[in-house]
Amino acid sequence: MDGKAKRVLAAVSVPAFVIGTDFTGAMLLVTPIEREYSVDITTTQWVLNAYALAFSMCLVSGGRLGDMFGHRQYVLLGLGIFGAASLGCVLSPNVTFLIFARALQGIGSAFIWPCLLALAATCVDEDERGAAVGILLGAVASGNAMAPFIAGTLAEIGDWRAFFVFNAVFAFLSAALMYRLVARETEHATDEKVDFAGMVTLGIAVFCLLFAMDLGADYGWTGLVTIALFSVALACFALFPFVESKVKDPMVPLPMMRNHQFVRTLALNGLPAIVLFLCMLYLPQYMQKVFGWSIFWGSLGMLSLGVPISIMNVAVGNYYNSVGPRKLLAIGHVFLIICCILMLLMKESWGYWGLVPVMVTVAVGGGLAFGPAGTAAVNAVGPKRAGLAGGLSFMFHLGLGAIGIACATALMFSAAIRQVASTLASANLTLSQNDMRLLAAGTLEDPAIKSILARFSGKEADVIAEAVRQSFSSGLHSAFWFGLAIAVFGLVLSLSIDESKLRSDQDAG
């Protein structure tokens, strides 16, 4: 790898790390945001969903625009949007403004990420591409893994807004490095257009699906609005291929849609993210709700996941050519299966050291899967489509991850409510449906739950407190059964990969 390639990789790794921190770091900030704006989880979860939806739906357009007008230029534009939106998060006067600013952060990230991947994949020769993409994915995965510690530390010494100050500062630092170290490209694919029709159709489908799962978990699955949202989502998903067949330059060109190996690598970019996000979202909560740790100590405990996955993502790229993506992906999913089984067997009495094997196995599994899946997606279509392949890869990584988390959360919340209802029924206690939802979703430290406990005394209060403690463990069990099913499916899909058709010298349109 020559000096120019090393400079490019150094420059693109910094914004990749920042992008990696934004989604998982915000997961730890939901509770303080709820308290400041006096809103519940139904509202604050859109602080996460708005970012994920805008990011995943605009990724392909970001990659295509980078292919058309220059990857360096669109990284700089995206960093400007991301930095300004981060300042908007810092200055948010209400939760609606915050959600809007988070959506803008997602749009900025969507311009940045596919262009970073294209720059990394095309700055080296073919035999070094696996290592180059591995370095970039190592940076973004390090951001994913380190974000809880960064957010927890900043929230502990200041408040949740300090995390978005961190985002803004590093966004402008990243722009300076890109401007200084990466040269402007001279060749672009100027004969293409952005597929706004496909982007809107798919965006509506995913939005309605996520919103329907939110409403279904809160208010039941048979409500008229919930059913209508699911119907619109299904209709838009069914309409999407028709829309793509009619536009000049679709989000996914038809030859790429017919490339079965490419489609499989896209799925394998997203399926491991579901298990990883399960761990990154719920393990800090496990430490806080079961162990009684603070946000800071919970974020510190997540280093057992963050450190090994960072090492794995950098190291695995060196073995892409010698071992092959099929074996790496399959072994990675075996580790993800082991992670879910360990979590299902987890007992509270094991304490933190019982969680360490869970975090190490998901780190090894994710590290083995993410880099090879991203490189394989680029190789399946060739360097001319590197930006588009990069956009689609991360769209599936974040989009499937977000949808998977929404499904797991719906299962978890439903199981938690059933556990609360069962515990209360055993003591002949009757509470309103709204009170039971609060008990299933919160902790004993939440003001809303304290107000419920204040209405009771003696054994009744003890029963309600026990219902809160048991609800989280019961719900978590359901979530990781879902994660196990996803990991098994990912293993089967990994074994179906045909490595002979993953050649970077081919062009899938």
Structural tokens at position 151: 């957010």
Per-residue pLDDT, averaged over 171-200, amounts to: 79
pLDDT at residue 136 is higher than 50: yes
What is the C-alpha separation between 266 and 269, in angstroms, rounded? 5
Q: What pLDDT sits at residue 509? A: 47
> pLDDT over 90 for what percent of the chain?
22
What's the rounded Cα separation, in Å, for the pair 334 and 364? 10
Please determine, for residue 142, whether its predicted confidence score (pLDDT) is greater than 80.
Answer: no
Average pLDDT over residues 487-498: 92
In terms of average pLDDT, the best of 233-247, 459-473, 481-495 is 481-495
Q: Which tokens belong to 465?
A: 């407190």
If you average pLDDT over residues 413-437, what whole number do you get?
Answer: 84
More confident residue, 387 or 247: 247
Rounded Cα distance, 444 and 420, in Å: 14
Tens-digit pLDDT profile for residues 38-74:
776 667 778 887 888 888 888 777 777 887 778 888 8
Question: pLDDT class for 505, splitting at 50, 70, 90?
Answer: very low
Q: What is the DSSP string of 185-229?
A: PS---TT----HHHHHHHHHHHHHHHHHHHHHHHH-SS-HHHHHH
Q: Is 130 left (phi over 0), alpha (psi -120 to 50) or beta?
A: alpha
pLDDT at 359 over 90: yes
Q: Whole-prediction pTM value?
A: 0.81
Contacting residues for 345 by C-beta, under 8 A, at least 6 apart: none
Question: Residue 4 has what pLDDT?
Answer: 75
* 401 pLDDT more than 70: yes
pLDDT in tens, 430-461: 888 778 877 877 667 777 788 888 888 888 88
Q: Which of 324-328, 350-354, 357-361, 397-401 has the highest mean pLDDT?
A: 357-361
pLDDT of 273 > 80? The answer is yes
